[in-house]
Chains A and B, each alone.
Chain A
């Protein structure tokens, strides 16, 4: 197939197994973000695709070609590094044209391609500058420009925005998404920041301990996380986990220390197939609410839940509540409008149609 494919790829560093076995298929012109905590193997995976890291077993295909044992330059890839990795002794034009010069392209073509990439990235005025005379954001653009001029089949990004400040990061995110539309190339992007993953990706690959935990669109991984790791990793602030037991009352309920929530009809159906009664209830902070009028009516999916609030963080229209349910610390995000006083302990509401249940032993979604 076209695109990028990893087949049963294994990576060991000496006796340490970093990637036990990895299978991943990425469609042509897809924007895939590999996300996970430090040391989950995401950068190693990207470096194996780039050919900067040999693989211990398995196969890698790029654009339908087996590239497993080809050096990086024969893989038709371009890569943007976290540290930008610009050549300090070359000016911006030199950095951007380096690959084309090595490939022996005609001079006119090199100039044209560099000019076009520079225009696209608003670097035209800086072509004669050395990297040290540029700001972080400009350096980042040069690094992008260097990969754009290559017109490679596949673009690899290794945490390219993590050295930028928050504001610049968010604008570069948008630019990258636009760039992907314009270039229509396969892009693989590694980050530890789930916001970058959610905002840019066609599909997200979530990794932990060298294993793929879930692959899916941003909507899928947010709405239907396969296990507690994915559920906790995707979403900000992250999901609260409470230990509880299923009780087959009518309606079926999940009860634990400090909470007693009825299940939605869909969840009830799923809960009946659960292997055991011991579960973990997953409550996203944004599914808490304050408006009591929503509760009680038969159609309402909201149920009451007591929060012992220790701090309310004001962030404009909503407030983040650092609280406890029973003795478990939780975070709730409630929309109360910009003028409301800091919220205090009391009875809040939770949207039970958005409740997640996980098996307590395996951590897998029920």
Chain B
């Protein structure tokens, strides 16, 4: 038995306590502390609040404990279900179009053709704009009276539309704005993934006789699968968090046509001042996001796939 082994094990060679074995925990402690304060505490607190009927302006000590009644109420709350449905529709269209557009553009602009780098830079600008500013920009652009969109549509003979005042058009507007801001995100991730692909494998596929489509569909995209799944996951989580742009662009209206679940929670908490009930809906939101992420991760296991390359 070596000296080192004997210091880590007892007489029978079984691992014993050693102060050095605590080192790793010591090093990750600060990160864990930040996680607990910034992430775990709010989630636990929301869960805790969801059992109380607490309204703004009321001292928390006086808030009555209501048990699971918020959750029961939620099941039959048509407004909650409506905002979930809006969120699903919003998520479906935005993610679908962002994925297709982002991946296509990345495939087109990947080659070092002249001007590609300039276009790439311009293209990622929306990503750098704060969501509040995005909301403001597009609110003016979509404005029925002074907006550029109606102005240019008018030039080609299309009647001015009340973009943010019509349920269908307002929904289109928030989807469009989201695509404008977040397609670059997919684009950047995919282009980074494309550039990391081993060039010899791509050359092998050319020698094997793959044409342009086969090259992309049978070789490039399958090799990018893990990155695509991670991008999808991040966008999915973002969809449930999206708040600022819709808040400024439509405020959830007209009616509830663009009221995403996050916006619904916000309105419940600060407009109708039902903090306890809003917390209960937040818990539902957290569970939804967690469930979806978990399902995708288990289903595709992107981190394991990564080690293939």
Contacts and interface: CB of A to CB of B under 8 A. Distances in A.
Interface of A: 50-52, 71-73, 77-79, 81-83, 85-89, 98-99, 102-103, 130-132, 146, 150
Contacts of B207: 50-52, 72-73, 77-79, 99
A73 B210 contact: yes
Interface in B200-250: 200-201, 203-211, 214, 218-219, 222-223, 225
Contacts of A81: 200, 203-204
A102 B208 contact: yes
Contacts of B205: 87, 98
A241 B271 CA distance: 91
B212 to A, nearest CB: 11
Contacts of A79: 203-204, 207
Given A87-B219, A88-B308, A89-B225, A102 B209 contact: yes
Interface residues of B, number: 21
B297 to A, nearest CB: 18
Of B204, B223, B309, most A-chain CB atoms within 10 Å: B204
B225 A85 contact: no
Interface string B289-309: 000000000000000000111
B57 interface: no
Nearest to B209: A73
Given A146-B204, A150-B208, 5 more contacts: A86-B201, A88-B223, A130-B308, A131-B308, A132-B308
A102 B210 CA distance: 6
A107 B159 CA distance: 58
Contacts, number: 68
18 contacts: A73-B209, A81-B203, A82-B200, A83-B198, A85-B200, A85-B201, A87-B201, A87-B204, A87-B205, A88-B201, A88-B308, A89-B222, A89-B223, A98-B210, A98-B218, A102-B208, A102-B210, A146-B208
Nearest to A77: B207
A25 B268 CA distance: 81
A52 B208 CA distance: 12
Interface SS majority for chain B: helix
A151 B223 CA distance: 27
Interface in B263-309: 307-309
Nearest to B307: A132
Nearest to A81: B200
Instruction: Identify which of B208, B210, B214 gathers the most chain A CB atoms within 10 Å of its CB.
Output: B208
Contact of B206 (A73, A88, A146): A73
Contacts of B222: 87, 89
Nearest to A80: B204
A325 to B, nearest CB: 45
Contacts of A82: 200
Nearest to A50: B207
Contacts of B206: 51-52, 71-73
A153 to B, nearest CB: 13
B221 to A, nearest CB: 9
